[in-house]
Every structure is written in structure tokens, then in C-alpha cells.
């Protein structure tokens, strides 16, 4: 039976995908977001080719330089090239952002699926656990985890991932609740498919839209959180370039050399902005009914 269905489903999905892409491309803001994301990803993949390999190279006699042909964005408080560090910083932010969202997504979606599918007591218990995580402000949750376990990249991923997880669980759960009453789920159940199979094969694919949107939105938030943690000195350890810590080290000279604060801030803002636009565009494209 499944074999019979497949070509049809694939066909349907293909044309659906075409529709989605078409709708997405019509949204100029979303396309702008997408383009920025592409640029970011390229920066993160090939920083050495774009900005040179040595982001730790200090030139202590050449500090606080303004923009020049040699240093397009000037140099920082240790005479390091700001452009190089910002380009390399995209790798830091994207890596930690992606890893933490993957963690958040896999945990959150699993919890959301189970809670939404089984409902009742299971739902109640799981959602209370989610409530616990949501009751603690994200920044404070992150800070206390990092303070307790030390500031390594792995701990950051855990801290940010845990903070972003509730949103995934809730989004998935509400999508699942909508889907689980559908007729084809009833049909699948009637054929004797196991709960796991139903969740994995039928419910998840049909709840995917809001989850994908949440991935984009979650990335935006996690980039913000990483920079926030680094800003207060609990982020990525030196000398790894990170936008938030670059910004933080420029605080003491904010009045004389505002460029040290300006550029990393713009980098953070642009990337968060891009993921927000992209997420918004995806939401509209995936589910035109939600469009406002």
C-alpha cells in the first residue's frame, strides 16, 4: 500500500515545493534575508580565503586604527584586523548557533511529538518540564549553565540549546495536535501501524512547516544569546573571534574608537535580521493562510 502511494505523494510534494519556492521568491524581504544568509554561510565556510588566515595576528603598535586600505574596518585594541575577525566570527556564531539549534530541535521536536500525540498525562508531565525551562529567563539559564560547567564551545551549545528547546516543543506539539485528528492518521492506525511509525512517518512530515520556521527564528535568537553571553565574558574563550566579545572589549574605548563596537554589532544585527526575515518569509510561503 505504501508503495502504491509513494509516487503520488512525491509528485504532490514536488509541486507543493514549487509553490512554496514561488511564493517565497515573491517576498522581497525574505529573499534579502536569504541572500544575507548565503553570504554568511560563505564567510563561515571560507574565512581564510575571504579575509586571510590569521585572525589572532596582533600588531601592538598599530592599535585602534580607523578604516584604511590596509584594514578596511580598522584594527582593534590589540591591533588585530577587524574585518578578518568579523569574517571568522561568522564561523563561531553559525557553528554554535546551528549546533545548539540542532540540539534544541531534536530534543524539542521529540518531546513535542510525544506530548502532542499521546496527550493527557504524558502531555501534562512533558509540558510541565518545558514550563520549568521556560520559567527561567533564557539569559540567566545560559549564564548559570556556563558558570557551572565552564565556558567551552560545547557548554555554550548545551546552554543555548536547552534555552531554545521549549519553543520547539511547543510549536511541534500544537502542530501535532492539529494533525493527529486527521483522517489519514486514523487510516494509518487502522492498518495497525505502530505509534512510533505513525509519529515518524505521518505526523512529523505534516507538522514540519512550523518547525522549519522555528529553526530559522531559533537561529536568530541563539546568535543573539551567544553574543550576549560573550558580552558579559561567559562566551567563547579567547582567542576565538566572536562578535559579542569583540564588542565587549571595545567598551572601554567606546568614545574614542566607536568603530570597535559598531562593526561587530552590525554583523550581529545583520545575521539576526536575515534569519528573522527568512523565517518570516518561510512562514508565509509554507502556510499562505497565516499570511497577514
Partner 1 sequence: MIKYIGRRLLMMIPVMLGVVLLVFSMMYFSPGNPEDYILGDMATIEDKEAFREEHGLNDPFLVQYFNYLIHALQGDLGTSYTTKLPVWDEIMERFPTTFKLAVFSTFIAIVIGVSTGIISAVKQYSIWDNISRFIAIIGVSMPTFWEGLMLIILFSVILRWLPSSGFSTWRHWILPAITIGTHSASSVMRMTRSSMLEAIRQDYIRTAMAKGQKYSVVIWKHAFRNATIPVMTIIGLQFGRMLGGSAISEIVFSIPGLGNLIINAIKVKNAPLVQGGILFMAVVMSLINLLVDVLYAYVDPRIRSQYVSNKAKRKNPVAEEKAKEGV
Partner 2 sequence: MKKFVAFALTLILVLTMLSGCNQPAPKVEEPAKVAKDTITLVTDVEPDTLDPRRGNSVANNIPMRLIHDSLMFMGDDNVFQPRLATKWEFIDDTHIRFTLREGVKFSNGDPFTSADVLYSLARTKLDSTSLSTMKWYDEVNSKAEGPLSVVLAMNYPYAPALQVLCGGRTWIGSQKVMEAMGEEAYARNPVGLGPYMLDKWTTGASMELKRNTNFWGEPAKTEKLVFKYSGEATARVIAMETGEVDFAYYINGSDIKRVNEIPGYHVERGPSAKYYTIVLNMQNPKFADERVRYALSYAIDLEALVDAGFDGTANVMSSIIPSTVEGWKDTYGKWEYNPEKAKALLAEAGATDLSFELHILPTAEFQKLAEIVQSFWAKVGVTVNIEQSALAAREAQGPWEASIRNGNATEITGILIIYDSLFASRVGNNDDKLDEMLMQLQVTYDKAEREKQIHALQDYIYKIRFTIPFAETDTIYGVGDHIEGYEFTYQISNCNIPEWVAYKK
Query: What does the alpha-carbon distance between residue 139 and residue 112 come to, in Å, rounded to a whole number?
Result: 23
Residues forming contacts to partner 2 in the complex (CB under 8 A) are: 56, 58, 60-61, 63, 77-79, 150, 233, 237-239, 248-249, 251-256
Query: What does the alpha-carbon distance between residue 237 and residue 90 come to, in Å, rounded to a whole number?
Result: 15
Q: Are 264 and 13 in contact (CB under 8 A)?
A: no
Is residue 107 part of the contact set for partner 1 (CB under 8 A)? no
Is 58 or 206 the residue whose CB approaches partner 2 more closely? Answer: 58
Maximal CA-CA distance, the chain: 76
Q: How far is the CB of 58 from partner 2 (least distance, A)?
A: 5
Q: How far is the CB of 141 from partner 1 (least distance, A)?
A: 8
Near partner 1 by CB under 8 A: residue from 75, 84, 216, 221: 221
Cα torsion through 91, 218, 117, 289, rounded to 10: -120
Is 63 or 201 the residue whose CB approaches partner 2 more closely? Answer: 63
Number of Cβ atoms within 10 Å of the Cβ of 14: 10
Is residue 227 part of the contact set for partner 1 (CB under 8 A)? yes
For 46-85, b where at least 16 C-beta lie within 10 A, e where not — what string?
ebeebbeeebeebeeeebbbeeeeebebbbbbebbbbbbb
| Eight-class DSSP state of 73 | T
When CB distances are held under 5 to 8 angstroms depending on the partner's kind, the choice from partner 2, partner 1, none that residue 238 binds is: partner 2
Residue 163 cell numbers, joined? 534555552
Near partner 1 by CB under 8 A: residue from 8, 61, 128, 289: 128
Near partner 1 by CB under 8 A: residue from 20, 39, 143, 193: 143
What part of residues 23-42 is at the interface with partner 1 (CB under 8 A)? 29
Query: What does the alpha-carbon distance between residue 55 and residue 241 come to, in Å, rounded to a whole number?
Result: 7
When CB distances are held under 5 to 8 angstroms depending on the partner's kind, the choice from partner 1, partner 2, none that residue 261 binds is: partner 1
When CB distances are held under 5 to 8 angstroms depending on the partner's kind, the choice from partner 2, partner 1, none that residue 90 binds is: none
Dihedral angle sign, alpha carbons of residues 38, 80, 92, 286: negative
When CB distances are held under 5 to 8 angstroms depending on the partner's kind, the choice from partner 2, partner 1, none that residue 149 binds is: partner 1
Query: What does the alpha-carbon distance between residue 285 and residue 292 come to, in Å, rounded to a whole number?
Result: 12
Which residues are near partner 1 by CB under 8 A? 29, 128-129, 131-140, 143-145, 147-150, 163-164, 166-167, 170-171, 174, 177, 214, 217, 220-221, 224, 227-228, 231-232, 244, 247, 251, 254-255, 258, 261-262, 265, 268-270, 272-273, 276-277, 280, 292
Amino acid at each position: 500500500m505504501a508503495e502504491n502511494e509513494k509516487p503520488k505523494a512525491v509528485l504532490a510534494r514536488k509541486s507543493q515545493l514549487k509553490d512554496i519556492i514561488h511564493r517565497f521568491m515573491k517576498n522581497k524581504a525574505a529573499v534579502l534575508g536569504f541572500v544575507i544568509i548565503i553570504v554568511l554561510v560563505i564567510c563561515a565556510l571560507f574565512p581564510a580565503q575571504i579575509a586571510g588566515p590569521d585572525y589572532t595576528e596582533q600588531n601592538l603598535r598599530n592599535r585602534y586604527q580607523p578604516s584604511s586600505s590596509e584594514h578596511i574596518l580598522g584594527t582593534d585594541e590589540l591591533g588585530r584586523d577587524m574585518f578578518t575577525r568579523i569574517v571568522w566570527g561568522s564561523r563561531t556564531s553559525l557553528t554554535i548557533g546551528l549546533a545548539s539549534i540542532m540540539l534544541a530541535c531534536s530534543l524539542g521536536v521529540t518531546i513535542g511529538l510525544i506530548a502532542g500525540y499521546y496527550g493527557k498525562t504524558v502531555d501534562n508531565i512533558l509540558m510541565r518540564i518545558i514550563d520549568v525551562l521556560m520559567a527561567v529567563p533564557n539569559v540567566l539559564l545560559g549564564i548559570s549553565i556556563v558558570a557551572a560547567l565552564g565556558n567551552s564551545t560545547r557548554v555554550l551549545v548545551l546552554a543555548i540549546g536547552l534555552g531554545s528547546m521549549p519553543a520547539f516543543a511547543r510549536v511541534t506539539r500544537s502542530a501535532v495536535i492539529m494533525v493527529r485528528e486527521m483522517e489519514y492518521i486514523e487510516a494509518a492506525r487502522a492498518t495497525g501501524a505502530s505509534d512510533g511509525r505513525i509519529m515518524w512517518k505521518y505526523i512529523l512530515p505534516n507538522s514540519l512547516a512550523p518547525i522549519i520556521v522555528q529553526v530559522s527564528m531559533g537561529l536568530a535568537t541563539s546568535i543573539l544569546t551567544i553574543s550576549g553571553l560573550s558580552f558579559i565574558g561567559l562566551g567563547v574563550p579567547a582567542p576565538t573571534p566572536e562578535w559579542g566579545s569583540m564588542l565587549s572589549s571595545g567598551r572601554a574605548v567606546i568614545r574614542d574608537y566607536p568603530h570597535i563596537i559598531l562593526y561587530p554589532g552590525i554583523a550581529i544585527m545583520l545575521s539576526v535580521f536575515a534569519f528573522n526575515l527568512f523565517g518570516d518569509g518561510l512562514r508565509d510561503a509554507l502556510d499562505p493562510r497565516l499570511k497577514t
